[in-house]
Amino acid sequence: MRKIGVVDTTFSRVDMASPVIEVIKSRISDAKIVRYTVPGIKDIPVAAKKLIEEEGCDIVITLGWVGKTLTDKLSYLALSIGLINVQLMTNKHVIDVTVHEDEAESEEELYKIAIDRSRKHAENLVELLMRGREALTKKAGKGIRQGYPDVGPIRE
Amino acid sequence: MRKIGVVDTTFSRVDMASPVIEVIKSRISDAKIVRYTVPGIKDIPVAAKKLIEEEGCDIVITLGWVGKTLTDKLSYLALSIGLINVQLMTNKHVIDVTVHEDEAESEEELYKIAIDRSRKHAENLVELLMRGREALTKKAGKGIRQGYPDVGPIRE
Amino acid sequence: MRKIGVVDTTFSRVDMASPVIEVIKSRISDAKIVRYTVPGIKDIPVAAKKLIEEEGCDIVITLGWVGKTLTDKLSYLALSIGLINVQLMTNKHVIDVTVHEDEAESEEELYKIAIDRSRKHAENLVELLMRGREALTKKAGKGIRQGYPDVGPIRE
Amino acid sequence: MRKIGVVDTTFSRVDMASPVIEVIKSRISDAKIVRYTVPGIKDIPVAAKKLIEEEGCDIVITLGWVGKTLTDKLSYLALSIGLINVQLMTNKHVIDVTVHEDEAESEEELYKIAIDRSRKHAENLVELLMRGREALTKKAGKGIRQGYPDVGPIRE
Amino acid sequence: MRKIGVVDTTFSRVDMASPVIEVIKSRISDAKIVRYTVPGIKDIPVAAKKLIEEEGCDIVITLGWVGKTLTDKLSYLALSIGLINVQLMTNKHVIDVTVHEDEAESEEELYKIAIDRSRKHAENLVELLMRGREALTKKAGKGIRQGYPDVGPIRE
């Protein structure tokens, strides 16, 4: 059985955990999902670490939502440094999904980005967990995107 | 008995500890509050760590006030990285409340933000401490805000 | 006997150590001051750590001077992150005084800021060292400033 | 036999691993290449650390692609801090190649930068791995560039 | 015998190691210099740490060159955080010399800054290594500069 952690926030304006869980369950029959919900993005790193160390998760996906102000961007930086530290302290992957409010003009567009990015990163999580470090190698350098259509490789 | 740390600063222009303590005491009958007051936000991380490691607190809430200059914003970033590190070193939550002077034009508005944010994050602290990692899951992705009215989820 | 570390720099344009030492000696009769002078602010964190770990200081105050350029501001951020790490590695307070050249137009004003901030933070150091985590609690949320007059609390 | 780690991403728009592997194989006859492909740059640090600690690599080269937005630049900073931490935790070099979309106007130019930078840093990796800390000393201060022509030393 | 590490880069446009070594040899008769040359500034921290831990250096001086772009400035920040971490992990000084291309309009001026800063920081290294934590105290607060003429103290 594979234990997979999912961290989300009450700050987020889209339920990104549902598409993530749906993808994981459809791909890994014996997946055990362990949820953790925190207020905002700066609370995410310790939740991810606790899921790995206290709940025995093999991998974690985190679902953050980032506002538009400079303060929000600095919080995003602190989150990013923190999640990389969690990974270096545990030698486990933490797939870090964030949606930024300055990515789109309309709420409709933000919604689509959030769902698409969540689903595609859940696929990445499954690949890394089930097939290891070369699972994604066939897509290396191919301009793959989450939240948007792939831009593709630059041809010589 | 639950030991809960509260860190605040002399720099802050609003007493945010009082509403925090009021919420905690009304929700947890046997709560033991342990106070720590420091000069400014860069002194907060070690205070939070000492409350956990030397005073045995199960969780900490920190109450910071951030000025308007670039220097203040960089101090906020150092604070945020530091508080995430405290959490990763202790595997305990530190709920990090900050009020930024550039959030509002008037002092009256800043005051309201500070009190509302403090109360609501004290509620978050109680939930995480008493009911654990899924306590907030029913609110995940719901666009919950502290200091402002909730913005709500984006509907499909 | 209390051992108190004082770190300053040759880059600074004001001797901030003298007012700091004067305040400490007038407040703590058996204080032992341990000096450390480094070239600039990025050399401060290791000096503070060595004063704690190799000289046995109970607390340290650091006196930095920050130029006006973007590079200087980034160095300030690195300093701030470093000093927070020193505190988290030792569970000791390091009171971090910095004067920024963009704080004032005239040299006269910068001089006043440097002396006032140094003296007031030396008072904070004495309070935290001698009376502990609630020494400053009566001033919490009161809008206390160092280098400037207090701005005071925002009234409801 | 020398084990050399190569980390790349699916986000990248150029296959930078192929020129890297070609250079390494042409220079070190018994090189064993260990691949790791991750979604994006924030996933790179843990992959580099796992290659060193779990796969026994002596050195790693990482191949990142960075977008144009402020968010991308902050992710680049988090990556850079993370990769330096990996090196400090393992005492092994991680040669960090990144291509930034704001480096060039045209895709053609970006492609050339990516290939040239990858090849030249693969040469640097070989030198450091095979000939040690003074291997590059003859080129010190010579204005060597990767991705562009060398700018050369400034003459007195 | 004193072992002193010198780290420089191939990216730099000025040979800063030569003036550094000249100063050290003229001041410390039994100095043993240990060189390490890396491609660019992000490779410096691990080289400094290896010189201390694997080569037994008592102190290290690092010689970095920083370009003009935002990316270069972020790399400088990562370098600065990394070098402070090396010092906190080893309790040894790492004197961090950097020259920034935005410091001067002409190459001639940049050259002068690089040589002057390198020489003066080599003097600082010698003082800290040979005479310890109060060696520079007579110059504290005196507005000493490296790369430029001293600006001097602000008089009361």
ipTM, interface predicted TM-score of the complex: 0.97
Q: Are B104 and B67 in contact (CB under 8 A)?
A: no
Q: Does C11 sit within 8 Å of E143, measured CB to CB?
A: yes
Confidence bin at B156 (pLDDT 50/70/90):
confident
- Give dist(CA E31, CA C121) in Å, integer: 41
Contacts of A111 in chain B (CB under 8 A): 154-156
Sequence-separated (6 or more) residues with CB below 8 Å from residue A77: B77, D74, D77, D78
Is E152 a domain residue? no
Nearest CA in chain B to A70: B73
The pLDDT assigned to C109 comes to 97
Residues of E with CB under 8 A from a CB of C: 66, 73, 76-77, 80-81, 83-85, 87-88, 91-96, 100, 102, 121, 124, 128, 133-137, 139-146, 151-156
For the cut 90, the answer to whether the pLDDT of residue C155 exceeds it is: no
Average pLDDT over residues B102-109: 96
E2-9 and E31-38: which strand pairing? parallel
- Picking from C85, C133, C142, the nearest residue to B10 by CB comes out as C142
- Say how far residue E53 (Cα) sits from the centre of its chain: 19
Q: Give the H or E element holding residue E68.
A: none
Instruction: Give pLDDT, residue B20.
Output: 98
C4 band by pLDDT with thresholds 50, 70 and 90: very high
Q: pLDDT tens across C79-90, in order?
A: 999 999 999 999
> Is pLDDT of C1 > 90?
no
- Euclidean distance between the first and the last CA atom of chain E, given in angstroms as a whole number: 44
A90 in a structural domain: yes
How many CA atoms does the CB half-sphere of D151 hold within 13 Å? 15
Tell me the CB-side half-sphere exposure of residue B38, using CA atoms within 13 A.
Answer: 22
Distances (CA, A) of C128 to A23, C62, C132, C134: 53, 15, 5, 8
Mean pLDDT confidence for B63-81:
98
Q: Is residue D105 part of a domain?
A: yes
- In chain A, which residues have their Cβ closer than 8 Å to the Cβ of D17? 140-141
In a domain, C100, yes or no: yes
CB E64 within 8 A of CB E97: yes
Look at residue E144 and tell me if it is in a domain. Answer: no
Q: What percent of chain B has pLDDT over 90?
A: 98
**Optimal mutation site among C18, C42, C88, C103, interface E, most CBs of chain E within 10 A:** C42
Tokens of B10: 């002399």
Question: Per-residue pLDDT for A156 more than 80?
Answer: no
Which residues in chain C have their CB less than 8 angstroms from residue E87's CB?
Answer: 45-46, 49
pLDDT reported for residue D155: 85
Instruction: Verify whether the Cβ–Cβ distance C39 to E144 is below 8 Å.
Output: yes
- Rounded to 5 degrees, φ, ψ at B136 are -95, 5
Among the partner-chain residues D13, D77, D89, the one whose CB lies closest to the CB of A88 is D89
pLDDT of residue E36: 98
CB-based contact E45 D134, cutoff 8 Å: no
Neighbours of chain D (3+ CB pairs under 8 A): A, E
Range of the domain at E38: 2-139
Buried b (16+ CB within 10 A) or exposed e, E98-114: bbbeebbeeeeebbbbb
Q: Which residue of A has its CA nearest to B99?
A: A71
Q: Percentage of residues in chain D with pLDDT exceeding 70?
A: 100
Nearest to D41 by CA among D87, D10, D6, D86: D10
With contact defined as 3+ CB pairs under 8 Å, the chains touching B are A, C
Distance CA D93, CA D76 (A): 18
Averaged pLDDT, D68-91: 98
Residue B1: its pLDDT value, please?
A: 87
The answer to whether residue C156 scores a pLDDT higher than 90 is no
What is the model's pLDDT at position E155? 84
pLDDT on residue B92: 98
Is the residue at D10 inside a domain?
yes
CB C50 within 8 A of CB E132: no
Residue B23 confidence (pLDDT) above 90? yes
Mean pLDDT of chain A: 98
DSSP track, chain C: -EEEEEEEESS-SS--HHHHHHHHHHH-TTEEEEEEEESSGGGHHHHHHHHHHTT--SEEEEEEEE-SSHHHHHHHHHHHHHHHHHHHHHT--EEEEEEEGGG-SSHHHHHHHHHHHHHHHHHHHHHHHHHGGGTTGGGTTS---SSS----PPP-
Residue with tokens 């509403």: B19
Residue E94 lies in a domain: yes
CA separation for the pair E78, E83 (Å, rounded): 9
Strand order in the sheet with C31-38: C31-38, C2-9, C59-66, C94-100
Chain D residue with Cα closest to E14 = D141
Give the pLDDT confidence score for residue E156 in this predicted structure: 76
Number of domains in chain C: 1
A89-133 confidence digits (pLDDT tens): 999 999 999 999 999 999 999 999 999 999 999 999 999 999 999
Which helix (H) or strand (E) segment is E32 a member of? strand E31-38
Angle at D111 between CA D153 and CA D127, to 5 degrees: 50
pLDDT-based confidence at D1, cuts 50/70/90?
confident
Task: Provide mean pLDDT across the span D21-50.
Answer: 98
Q: Kindly list the residues from chain B whose CB atom is less than 8 angstroms away from the CB atom of residue A37.
A: 133-137, 139-140
Test B143 with A13 for CB contact under 8 angstroms: yes
Are C11 and E144 in contact (CB < 8 Å)? yes
Q: What is the DSSP letter of D146?
A: S
Residue C147 has pLDDT above 80, yes or no: yes
**Residue B131 is encoded by which pair of tokens?**
């009911």
E contacts of C54 (beta carbons < 8 Å): 91
**CB of D90 closer than 8 Å to CB of D48:** no
Q: How confident is the model at residue C129 (pLDDT cuts 50, 70, 90)?
A: very high
pLDDT digits (tens, 9 = 90+) for A41-52: 999 999 999 999
How far A142 CA sits from the closest chain B CA (Å)? 30
Mean of the per-residue pLDDT values of chain B:
97
B140 closest CB neighbour out of A17, A42, A75 = A17
What residues of chain D lie within 8 A of the CB of E96, using their CB?
A: none
Mean pLDDT across chain C: 97
Question: CA D86 → CA A89, C147, D10, distances in Å?
Answer: 10, 40, 21
Give the sheet arrangement for strand B31-38, strand by strand: B31-38, B2-9, B59-66, B94-100
What local confidence, expressed as pLDDT, does residue C134 receive? 98
E contacts of D99 (beta carbons < 8 Å)? none
Handedness of CA C14, C15, C16, C22 (dihedral sign): negative
Q: Is residue B131 predicted with pLDDT exceeding 80? A: yes
Residues E26 and E20: beta-carbon distance below 8 Å: no
Rounded Cα–Cα distance for residues C85 and C41 (Å): 15
Both tokens of C8, joined, read: 């300053």
d(CA D145, CA D119): 12
Locate the chain B residue with the closest alpha carbon to A115: B156
Task: Tell me the chain A residues in contact with residue D35 when contact means C-beta distances shorter than 8 Å.
Answer: 133-134, 137
In tens digits, chain E (156 residues) has pLDDT values of 899 999 999 999 999 999 999 999 999 999 999 999 999 999 999 999 999 999 999 999 999 999 999 999 999 999 999 999 999 999 999 999 999 999 999 999 999 999 999 999 999 999 999 999 999 999 999 999 999 999 999 987
- Cβ–Cβ < 8 Å for D94, D59: yes
The minimal CB distance from B13 to the residues C100, C136, C154 is found for C154
Does D154 reside within a domain?
Answer: no
pLDDT value at residue E76: 98
CATH number of the domain where residue E62 is located:
3.40.50.960
Distance of alpha carbon E61 from alpha carbon C115, whole angstroms = 32
User: Which residues, including other chains, have CB under 8 Å from residue D88's CB and lie 6 or more apart?
Assistant: E45, E46, E49, E82, E85, E86, E89
Give the model's pLDDT for residue E1: 86
